[in-house]
Amino acid sequence: MNYVGKNEKWGIGIDMGGTKIEAAIVGDQGKLRDQLRIPTNSQDGAERIIERTLRAVKELMGRNSDVEVAAAGIGIAGQIDNEGEYVIHAPNLKWSRVNLRQQLVNVLAMPVFICNDVRAAAWGEWSFGAGRGKKDVACIFVGTGVGGAFICDGKMLHGFNNSAGEIGHMVVKVNGELCTCGNSGCLEAIAGGWAIRKKAQQLALQDQSAAQTMIDLAGGIASINAKTVFLAANQGDKAAFKIVGDVVAALIAGVISVINVFGPDRVILGGGIIEGMPTLIQRIETGVKKHALQAAISNVQILQAELHGNAGTMGAAMFALNNVQGHNKER
């Protein structure tokens, strides 16, 4: 991060997730000046969540009143309409067709821009993290689900329906594991946290002795999760090692596909699964460098995301500042 601060423009960045909402004041040179966090309490419904979010933002602005804020950006775990007005659908928040942007404009009295949370995090990594200064960047976040965003020739890729980047639902294994989306063989259905957990628990139910290490570590089959699998694999447990091997193979396939098809110069991997098993990124890189097309992989760097928990707020702020500063309208 660059702490220049001179003539810095400031934005509010909001990361609105299913469990917590974070807001931050971020400078366009990458300074994270202040931040706060509140629980989402998704059962409260859109109206009250928005109300609490606005209160939090005002508190943040109040305690940083020496700073002039130019715009606010929100990254939200859901699908945003093409005009960036509505949240069409946000399953984790239990929202459907919420006119988010105008409600925030009315109260904050500044330009507000909304986008998908993964795209916001990618804006963060692109602006201030592992992708800074690059024109062709692929960001892949592997957590409970798998999401992505792509910067092509210096522009964020939106796609016709503003839905681009769903790399979790890239098919890497035709007729493979059933995915929550209804398709099978999706990257997420192998490498996503939910899929790792599901596969490990299924294995434990089928053959308790083969999964004993995982069961012991978790304290019961129902408590086995991706973290358990990584711990057990590190202890040499064969079943866990096999699951991790499948995760690595699927991620190698996904990253190779991205490189061969998109031609990025930098691939950024982040999210809980990547951070939870430090050897993962090295194994992915080795496989990708071996098997991607020579013409495509030349001089490509595969790096871990740098901003961790701050990517969402920092990216949402930068996304907003980029829009308000009269650059190309970005979503």
- Secondary structure letter of residue 164 according to DSSP: T
33, 135, 198, 283: which one binds a copy of itself (CB under 8 A): 135
> Angle, nearest 10°, between helix axes 117-128 and 311-324?
80
Residues in contact with a copy of itself, counted by CB under 8 A, come to a total of: 55
Q: Min. distance of Cβ 325 from a copy of itself in angstroms?
A: 20
Contact map string, positions 265 to 304, toward a copy of itself, x by CB under 8 A: x-------------------------xxx-xx-xxx----
Q: Tokens at residue 42, please? A: 């998704």
E strands in 230-283: 266-270
Q: Which is nearer to a copy of itself, 101 or 331 (CB)?
A: 331
Q: Min. distance of Cβ 86 from a copy of itself in angstroms?
A: 13
**Residue 4 interacts with a copy of itself (CB under 8 A): yes or no:** no
166, 224, 243, 319: which one binds a copy of itself (CB under 8 A): 166
Segment interacting with a copy of itself (CB under 8 A) among 159-167, 230-238, 271-279, 306-314: 159-167
- Secondary structure letter of residue 184 according to DSSP: B
Q: Tokens at residue 274, please? A: 């990547």
List the one residue out of 216, 235, 218 whose CA is nearest residue 226: 218
For the chain, how big is the Rg over CA atoms in Å?
20
73, 165, 193, 271: which one binds a copy of itself (CB under 8 A): 165
**Residue 239 interacts with a copy of itself (CB under 8 A): yes or no:** no
DSSP 95-106: EEEE-HHHHHHH
Q: Min. distance of Cβ 87 from a copy of itself in angstroms?
A: 12
**Residue 75 interacts with a copy of itself (CB under 8 A): yes or no:** no
Q: Give residue for tokens 């699951």.
A: 243
Edge-to-edge strand list for the sheet holding 69-76: 32-39, 20-27, 10-16, 69-76, 112-116
Q: Min. distance of Cβ 304 from a copy of itself in angstroms?
A: 19
**Residue 233 interacts with a copy of itself (CB under 8 A): yes or no:** no
Q: Min. distance of Cβ 297 from a copy of itself in angstroms?
A: 8
Q: Give residue for tokens 């931050």.
A: 24
CB neighbours of 111 closer than 8 A, spacing ≥ 6?
70, 71, 72, 105, 320, 323, 324
Residues that bind a copy of itself (CB under 8 A): 79, 88-89, 135-136, 148, 150, 152-153, 155, 157-167, 169-176, 181-183, 185, 190, 249-250, 253-254, 256-258, 260-265, 291-293, 295-296, 298-300
